[in-house]
Each structure stands twice: as structure tokens, then as C-alpha cells.
Amino acid sequence: DDIDDQMFVTTQMYEEGKHTDHFDRYWREVIHGVEAELGLERSSPTDEKWFNDAYHDLFERNERAMGALLEDPGPETFAEAYCHYHLVIEGILAQTGYYGMQQSYSERSYPELPHLPGLYEGFTKIRQDEGRHVGFGMAKLKELVAEDGVDPHLLDETVNELLPLVNRIAANPEDQYIEDVGPDPSELQSFAADKHLERMEQITDAAEDVPGLESLTELKGVGD
């Protein structure tokens, strides 16, 4: 019911729409162009081949967590919803995806892979928006723990239940990896685990402030 929260979520929805437009445009103008040049069949970013069972499971659980708010908008239900979306999907899964993509296609990381400056810059700008979203969710979770008596173990249990799905998305066994090209799947899993520990410490430690935008969007090692 907080008007400030409603206004923030409204701006977040607008920004998510911009992100969708960016990826749609990149696919139409770049991916389709290369496919035509190579004589390949035109692909779609929404094709089921890009999404494994863990991905579907994670987002179905997120949808149920959001739907639960309609029945019981209490502190614990809000905490679980923030954990699903802001903490896991945006704060861990998306951040891991940005790391993997920007590591792969930066100018210096992997010379054997193409440098894609437009895609790289797009991810950089999207990360700035996502940092605000994650910061909002973390601040609300910290508030729920400190002021509404939500047990920090609920947060830890919720995220720990979802983290294996993130790992299976980041290192999909059905993907075909070329040895020594791009980030290793285990590197992405390690990155996701580190983000989980970092976020939980920042939320549950009373002396720890929610980090600023620059810290939330930092991807150490990208482009090095």
C-alpha cells in the first residue's frame, strides 16, 4: 500500500519494457541479419530450445510467489516474493548472465570470440537499471527482517531452494560448450554462489548497509 513502493515498481515495469525492446531489436537487426548472411533459418528469441526445465521451474515458482500476495499480503509472503524476484532472478541469475555474456564478448576477454560492442554496451546500461531493482528488493528485505520480525532463515531457505535451479540454468547440461572458449560453466556457478552469499550477508547483517548502485552493478573481472 506504500505509494513510494508503488511508484518504484511502476518505474521498474517501464524499465523492463525497455530491456525487452532492446533485446527484440538486437535480435531483429543483428541476429537475423547474420542468419540471412550465412543462409541460416531465422531464429526466435522465444523459441523453447533456449529454455531448459530449470528455467521454467524457477519462473513458475516466481509466479506462484507473486500470486500468494493476493491471498496473504503478510511480511513473510512479501519476503518470499522479494527473494524470488529481486534477490534470485535479478540479483543472482541475471547478474550471472550479464557476467557470462560480457565476459564472452568484451574486447579483451576472449580474442577468439567476436567483440560485440552494441550488445556489451546494452548490457552495461541494463545492469544500471537492474542494480536499482535489486537494491530496492534488498532494502525491503532488510526492512522486513529488522522491523517486521521476519526470520532471516526464511530468506536463506527460500534462496537455497532456488539456487540449484540457477546453477542448472547457468550450466545447462544440454548446452554444447567448446573447450577453452568463453567462461567455463563452473565459473558461472561459482559466480552465482558468490552473489548469493554476498546478498544474504548484506541483508541479514544489521551493521551492513545495502550497497550503492555502482557496487550492485559491478562485474569484477569482465574485460580484464
Q: What is the pTM of this model?
A: 0.82
* Helix-helix angle 152-170:53-71, to 10 degrees: 150
On the CB side of 71, how many CA atoms lie within 13 Å of its CA? Answer: 7
- DSSP code, position 166: H
Phi, psi values for residue 114, rounded to 5°: -65, 145
Tell me if residue 39 falls in helix, strand or coil.
coil
Report pLDDT digits (tens) over 117-139: 888 899 889 988 988 999 999 99
Nearest CA to 170 among 95, 82, 115?
95
- Whole-number pLDDT of residue 114: 83
50 burial level (CB within 10 Å; 0-12, 13-18, 19+): exposed
Which of 40-44, 70-74, 124-128, 169-173 bottoms out in mean pLDDT, i.e. has the lowest? 169-173
Range 183-195 average pLDDT: 77
Q: Does pLDDT of 152 surpass 60?
A: yes
Q: Does pLDDT of 194 surpass 90?
A: no
Question: For the domain bounded by 52-217, which CATH number is listed?
Answer: 1.10.620.20
Report pLDDT digits (tens) over 165-175: 998 998 765 55
What is the Cα–Cα distance from 170 to 188, expressed in whole angstroms? 6
